[in-house]
Structures are given as C-alpha cells and as structure tokens.
C-alpha cells in the first residue's frame, strides 16, 4: 500500500516559509486576498494549525476552521484557490495515523472549502470538502485510498462536485488511473476500476473512437493489476470501435496469455507485423517475440 506524501513538492513553489508559518500565494485571488498565512499555536507536540486570509494594508480575516492535534500535529498538505463559476479557497490538513494493533497505518487528509460568495462569513462547504478529503493507508479490512492526492486532481474533483456530479467523469477517472499507474499501485487500480465504476462510465460515456484511448488505458491498467478478465472485456469493447489501434493488439495479447495462448499468440503476431511494417521493430517488447516462437 502506498501512502501519499508527495504534495509538499507541489506546494513549495507557491509558499514562502518563515519559521513556523507558511505564506501561500493565491491565484486566482480570493475576494481581495492574494495570499493566506498558516501558523501553529500551542505548545510543542500539542499544536493547532490555524490560518488567515491576507489583504495588503488591511486587517486579516481569520479562517473559522482549524486543524487540531490528533495523536500528532497536523501538517498543511496544500492550500490554493479554484475557479468554478465562483472562486473557492481550499486548504487540506494531514495527519499520520498509526495503530499497529488494528492494522491501521496511513495518512488522514481533511479539506476545508470556502466560497468567495460568503467571504464576510466564511463557512466550510462540508459536501465539497468531503469530496476532496480521504484516508490513504491500511485498514483492518485491507486498505483505503485518497484518490485526489494532488492539487490538479483535487481541483478537477471539486469543479465536478460543484457542478453536482455524483461520480468522477471519464476524464477525471483517467487522470486518477494514470497517477496510480505511474506509481505502479496495482491494488489501488483494482480498487478504483471496479466493475461497478466501469459499468457506470460506459453507460454515461460509451466507448467511441474519440475516447477509445482512455478505455484502452483502463484495460492496460487492469491487465497490469492482474484483473485480466475485466481487462479483456473492456479491451474488446475498444477493439469493436477502434480495431486499428496498434498498442491495443499488444494489450489484448497480454491479458489473454494466461487463459488462451492460441488467441493471444495471434494478437501478438498481428501486433508484431504492424510494428515491423511501420519500421518500429526495435520497440517491440521482448515478451511478444518470445511468446510467438
């Protein structure tokens, strides 16, 4: 199980750090605020993280929500603004969670979302905040995932949630899958690309020549995760609308290898033939050549 600790590398370019405080630049601006300040209050080991919106030459506006000490001091995971019809200011706190006795080890992420329409009386939009909060790590039953672990993913999720979307769009689902695929987090891929989610996506956005590349990536990801039956079912739908996709032939060959070697070899042969015809023989994976022998 992978625990996401990567966002500070995304946050630092937008922050200046002075002692125990962080100044975050806001783009777009939130009301008249071009930056926010976060700081700790309390004794060491029992600190509360607070924040305020800053306006040049004017009194700061205190954020009504704070991140309390919960078995450890909260860290500022990220803070930024998003334009989605109106401007939202978001900050997310994280806590390391560790209870070996109950197989609980990971990181909890809690977000707070404010709208510039209520800037005089800031109120956390709990529904939107919940959509970009989560836990990443082990549980007694297995594991859980913080899907919107980067600012880009969280921003896209918030925009969709603000429009009333109940599930991730095909494009956002693709972004989530690519992040986990890059990390080779195969358990997460299986947990995200469930049959239920795929059925819902296919119903809302059927496979077409326009989006066949996305569904092909889903099939590849499922194959890499070992869900070959589900992968083949999805890749077959891609093949029905876009049979000329070269990498699709390789993906289908790979997911069939464990269950139908005869059919798999035919796809490998078709793939190899096309690659040679395009003078790309050097790019053919060695497994494809070995398996057709």
Average pLDDT over residues 189-197: 97
Structural contact between residues 94 and 106, judged by C-beta atoms closer than 8 angstroms: no
Residue 139 pLDDT > 50, yes or no?
yes
- Alpha-carbon torsion angle 240, 245, 249, 250, nearest 10: -140
What is the Cα–Cα distance from 166 to 80, expressed in whole angstroms?
Answer: 23
Q: Name the percent of the chain lying above pLDDT 70.
A: 92
- The whole-angstrom separation of Cα 222 and Cα 213 is 14
Is the pLDDT at 158 greater than 60? The verdict is yes
* Region 58-62 average pLDDT: 92
Which pLDDT band, with edges at 50, 70 and 90, does 14 fall under? very low
pTM of the model: 0.88
* Rounded alpha-carbon distances, angstroms, from residue 127 to 52, 68, 291: 22, 21, 51
SS (H, E, C) 81-108: EEEECEEEEEEEEEEEEEEHHHCEEEEE
Q: Would you state the pLDDT for residue 283?
A: 97
- The arithmetic mean of pLDDT across residues 81-105, rounded, is 89
- As a whole number, mean pLDDT of residues 186-196 equals 96
Q: How far is CA 202 from CA 87, 189, 193, 207, 241, in A?
A: 32, 17, 12, 7, 13
Task: Extract the tokens encoding 102.
Answer: 């109950």
Over 80: is that where the pLDDT of 166 sits? yes
Q: Where are the alpha helices (DSSP H) in the chain?
A: 8-11, 126-131, 151-162, 170-182, 186-192, 195-204, 212-224, 228-241, 246-256, 261-277, 286-291
pLDDT (tens digit per residue) in 232-251 = 999 999 999 999 999 999 99
Would you state the pLDDT for residue 9? 32
| pLDDT surpassing 70 at residue 10 | no
- Nearest of 48, 45, 47, 21 to residue 35 by alpha carbon: 21
CA-CA distance, 47 to 87, in Å (whole number)?
30
Which distant-in-sequence residues (6+ apart) come within 8 Å of 259 by Cβ?
Answer: 228, 229
């Amino acid at each position: 199980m992978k625990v996401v600790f990567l966002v500070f590398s995304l946050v630092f370019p937008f922050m200046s750090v002075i002692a125990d405080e962080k100044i975050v630049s806001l783009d777009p601006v939130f009301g008249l605020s071009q930056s926010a300040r976060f700081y700790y209050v309390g004794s060491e080991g029992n600190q509360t993280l607070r924040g305020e919106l800053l306006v040049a030459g004017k009194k700061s506006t205190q954020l009504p929500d704070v991140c309390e000490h919960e078995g450890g001091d909260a860290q500022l995971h990220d803070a930024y603004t998003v334009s989605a019809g109106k401007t939202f200011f978001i900050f997310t706190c994280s806590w390391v969670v560790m209870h070996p006795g109950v197989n609980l080890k990971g990181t909890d992420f809690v977000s707070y979302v404010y709208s510039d329409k209520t800037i005089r009386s800031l109120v956390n939009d709990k529904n939107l905040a919940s959509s970009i909060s989560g836990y990443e790590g082990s549980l007694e039953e297995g594991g859980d995932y913080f899907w919107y672990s980067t600012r880009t993913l969280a921003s896209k999720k918030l925009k969709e949630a603000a429009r009333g979307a109940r599930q991730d769009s095909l494009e956002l689902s693709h972004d989530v899958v690519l992040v986990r695929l890059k990390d080779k987090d195969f358990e997460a891929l299986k947990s995200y690309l469930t049959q239920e989610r795929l059925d819902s996506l296919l119903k809302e956005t059927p496979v077409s020549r326009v989006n066949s590349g996305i569904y092909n990536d889903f099939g590849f990801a499922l194959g890499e995760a070992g869900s070959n039956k589900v992968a083949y079912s999805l890749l077959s739908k891609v093949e029905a609308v876009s049979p000329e996709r070269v990498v699709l032939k390789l993906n289908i060959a790979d997911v069939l290898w464990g269950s139908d070697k005869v059919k798999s070899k035919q796809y490998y042969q078709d793939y190899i033939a096309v690659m040679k015809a395009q003078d790309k023989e050097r790019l053919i994976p060695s497994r494809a050549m070995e398996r057709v022998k």
